[in-house]
Amino acid sequence: MTPTMAEGITGAGVGTEGSGHRTGRFRSWPGPFRWMTYLAVATALALVAGLATAVVVVRRPWPQTGGEVVIAGLHGEVKVIRDDHGIPQVYADSLHDLMLAQGFVHAQERFFEMDLRRHATAGRLSELFGEAGLESDLVVRTLGWRRVAEKELTLLRPDTRDALDAYAEGVNAYLEGRSLSEVSLEYALLDLGGLDYQPADWTAVDSVAWLKAMAWDLRGNLEDELGRALATEAVGPKRSEELYPPYPFDEHPPIVDQGALVDDVFEQDATATGTRLPQRPPPGGPDVTAALAGVRKVLAAVPPMLGSGDGIGSNAWVVDGEHTSTGAPILANDPHLGTSLPGVWMQVGLHCREITADCPIDVAGFSFSGVPGVVIGHNRDIAWGFTNLGADVTDLYVERVTERTWQYGGAERPLGRRDEVIEVRDGDPVELTVRSTAHGPLLSDLVNLDDELDTVELTEDGLAEQVDGVSGADVLPGRQAEQDGTWDHEVALAWTALEPRPTADALLALNAATDWRSFRTALSDFAVPGQNVVYADREGRIGYQATGLVPIRKSGNDGLTPAAGWRPETGWTGKYVPYEALPNLRDPESGVIATANQAVIDPARYAPYLTADWDRGYRSSRIGRLLAADDQLSVARMGSIQLDDWSSIGETLTPYLLDVKLPQGYESDGQRLLRSWNFRQGPESAAAAYFNVVWREVLARTFGDELTGPLAPDGSDRWFAVVSRILPTARDPWWDDVETEAEVETRDDILRAAMEAARDELTSRQSPDPDEWSWGALHRLELRSSTLGESGIGIVERMFNRGGWKIGGGGSLVNATAWEATEGYDVTAAPSMRMVVPLDDLDAARWINLTGVSGHAFHENYTDQTDLWARGETLPWVFSAGAVEEAGEDVLTLVPPGG
């Protein structure tokens, strides 16, 4: 037995301390499974039968990395050079062969992940996992992700379609003749559990459908739209507004601080103003509130593939040569996504040996398994990085419907209808009728599926029982529900990703871009999800481009709360913000462009509505200050900025905590730590441990009496802003606990109780001695496989999960290792990778992945980068052919038949 095999079976794992456990809001894929009992028994018997047999089963699917493999469909010889971390660099003479080889290599390392993704995006998880996959399948089928992807395939340019088909050829060449146990350990165990399954051939639509999942996880403000409606029900409209404060443009500068629209074209040197028309109030009523609460649970049924929630974001910045030690631009990027095993990204290099019109790619970076090309990285001429734009591309519409019609503008219109059949492993097929209005599919129809979804059921009179702490028993304050007794209220979703667009064209065109013009042209097709894209090139230029399909709404819809679908003035116009009108910059006077999901541009200078629900700008302002403090920036310095763990809310809240009088000794020991705290949240910091426990207690004690369930404060940047606003007012109503009628609590009462509770919690969790506390001991990274790692069977989970890394940083810090205040302190989202690219010397670039290249449990490249990532280290990212060859550890040659 190999050391890693032994570690996995005993639960220690590579680079771990202790066993893993479920964390945060990031739902797993389906699990546990009813039939897994048989799998546990079979697995235990197999292991007892012989360790040698177990090692063979584990190693069987590992990729061949040396020698020669004959692959049908290749036109010429392809070399795959892997370094000591297994990162492949692929060299070919044609784009067809390059894409085919990438498909083969992706499948070698991660086919189970790819197959899982295509089942998820097609609404077919139930075929693999039985009823455990049904919740997700019902939502995905209702949204019709794969149907849209099939239509998008017909819109793509011929060269894009050829690349997708070649990639699929490579995947299928890998699958040809392989049994389940030769593809992955997961399949081997599922086979023991009775899975009667053979993976279907990979197709181009399987790759395109993954873009729908990416768009879903990065969809913008849908949760805030629901949250506003439910918060209004809970605490009234005025106090609900206090929970969603406007973006502080005077405190946190937007990405673009110059320019305006001129004749629908964004010009970076122009100025202009624009306003939006008055809005109508959103619809209310008990059945509306119940439907919205149910839809919130429906949305949560889809397991995130990139992650979801307020921890999802990114940092990216670029500086010109005036600010670097070499005189050339440097670009940095670290996307913050949900934690998973394997990680979201797979590093890869794709190189045409000779750049021609027919073979234009020489690129390296981070790819999605299942999708050809590189998503983020650099080629020989340019580098680019992404952060989520966060534009408001979804709207919920409360519709008046009957069984077969919906109301619009006083007229009755037929509902769209289509039928779906979901096959369920070890169960009967489930028939689903998807109804839709012109706005989109009716998500609330899923609320009333009795057993298929674990959500609220409406009673006969249209009222709902309490849903996650939000009651639908009362009409929204100040409004009378508009009901005439003949209509039901259902909720439809409008979403730009449901309109077919050729986003796949943009990815491959971006890989081949050579300058600012071709870069912008490539991104013009990038429809969903909308992104902030930073740019640098070897000629010394830097730039920024906003991308995405952003709807133009009619005057009756502000996009902030669900709208009345029966009113024509609340709809979308059918037009979108033109690409040429989206904000962009090239070579700004400042020489610096930093984006961390903050507001793109001040709406006083930009009329088109993008969103009001930006990240609040704490990360971006900190990054801006750090960049401004150094005009000799280096690759190393850029990397250290990515690790910055300074806490804005720590600086704001700590003086108030220190002003509270506590008894000397036990109760004040935590206060003592704060007196010398520098507001940094390193893993060894005792003060950071104490502060974050206090912060969690402050949130719960201030808002928990009125905001429960989905409205409970999660501790994200929005709550930084909310608490910062009320801190100066000692008797703000939010401090009072409404459940203690005989007493009116003040700010200091809440802060005192929070500090006392934090002292008790840390004493219980870590030590009576405050100097022995550490933030990392609370804030742990647990990496879990999203399928068998959530089986509920210890021996199986220990095979696939790794955990126990002690992590610094925190939510809404530059080193954005988010945690969920309603759940605990474990990391729920984190920098999924880090990269820094100097444009003068591409061989001096650095990169790191959250996990590793391999998707095979126990393989040395499964989590081999995680220890480095946790310590803030990066790997060399060589690019030139000579440097790649020198760094190579294994060379696999792919040849055509008879070659």
> What confidence tens digit (pLDDT) does each residue in 209-258 have?
999 888 888 887 888 888 998 899 899 999 999 999 999 999 999 999 88
Closest CA to 310 of 819, 835, 867, 884: 819
On the question of pLDDT at 280 being above 90, the answer is: no
Torsion angles phi and psi, residue 299, rounded to 5: -60, -35
Closest CA to 384 of 273, 504, 490, 509: 509
Can you give the pLDDT at residue 325?
97
Backbone region of residue 455 per phi and psi (left: phi > 0; alpha: psi in -120 to 50; beta: other values): beta
> What confidence tens digit (pLDDT) does each residue in 47-86 have?
545 666 778 889 999 999 999 999 999 999 999 999 999 9
> What confidence tens digit (pLDDT) does each residue in 112-132 have?
999 999 999 999 999 998 998
Can you give the pLDDT at residue 629?
94
Give residue 117's identity as a one-letter amino acid code.
Answer: R
Lookup result for tokens 């399949």: 187
Count Cβ atoms within 10 A of the Cβ of residue 898 and give its class: 0-12 exposed, 13-18 middle, 19 or more buried: exposed
Angle at 175 between CA 169 and CA 176, to 5 degrees: 85
Q: H-helix or E-strand containing 346? A: strand 346-352
> What confidence tens digit (pLDDT) does each residue in 633-656 have?
999 999 999 999 999 999 999 999
Q: Report, at the CATH architecture level, how domain 648-679+686-773 is classified.
A: Orthogonal Bundle (1.10)
> What confidence tens digit (pLDDT) does each residue in 787-811 have?
888 888 888 889 999 999 999 999 9
Can you give the pLDDT at residue 462?
29
Q: Which residue has the higher pLDDT, 248 or 11?
A: 248
On the question of pLDDT at 10 being above 50, the answer is: no
Average pLDDT, the chain: 88
Instruction: List, in sequence order, every residue forming a beta bridge with 334; answer none if it has no partner.
Output: 315
272-276, 383-387, 628-632: lowest mean pLDDT where? Answer: 272-276
Residue % of the chain over a pLDDT of 90: 76
Position 46 confidence tier, pLDDT thresholds 50, 70, 90: low
Distance of CA 341 to the CA centre of its chain: 14
On the question of pLDDT at 450 being above 70, the answer is: no
* d(C-alpha 451, C-alpha 772), whole Å: 49
Instruction: List, in sequence order, every residue forming a beta bridge with 837; answer none if it has no partner.
Output: 331
205-219, 407-421, 445-459, 518-532: lowest mean pLDDT where? Answer: 445-459
Residues 6+ apart with CB under 8 A from 404: 414, 415, 417
Can you give the pLDDT at residue 787?
87
Residues 828/664, Cβ–Cβ less than 8 Å: no
Residues 79/71, Cβ–Cβ less than 8 Å: no
CA distances from 106 to 3, 206, 369, 709, 887 (A): 26, 14, 6, 40, 21
Lookup result for tokens 């000779």: 354
Residue 892 carries which DSSP code?
Answer: E
CA distances from 418 to 398, 441, 559, 569 (A): 20, 10, 28, 27
Position 13 confidence tier, pLDDT thresholds 50, 70, 90: very low
* d(C-alpha 17, C-alpha 624), whole Å: 36
How many helices (H) and strands (E) the chain has is answered by 26, 32
* d(C-alpha 734, C-alpha 753), whole Å: 15
Closest CA to 805 of 830, 832, 776: 776
Residues 6+ apart with CB under 8 A from 174: 103, 104, 107, 108, 111
Lookup result for tokens 């647990």: 782
Q: Which residues of 651-669 are buried (b: 16+ CB within 10 A; e: fewer)?
A: eebbebbeebebeeeeebb
Position 307 confidence tier, pLDDT thresholds 50, 70, 90: low
What is the arithmetic mean of pLDDT over 35-51?
55
> What confidence tens digit (pLDDT) does each residue in 325-358 have?
999 999 999 999 999 999 999 999 999 999 999 9
> What confidence tens digit (pLDDT) does each residue in 752-779 have?
999 999 999 999 999 999 999 999 999 9
Angle at 546 between CA 542 and CA 547, to 5 degrees: 125
* d(C-alpha 293, C-alpha 302), whole Å: 16
Residue 202 carries which DSSP code?
Answer: P
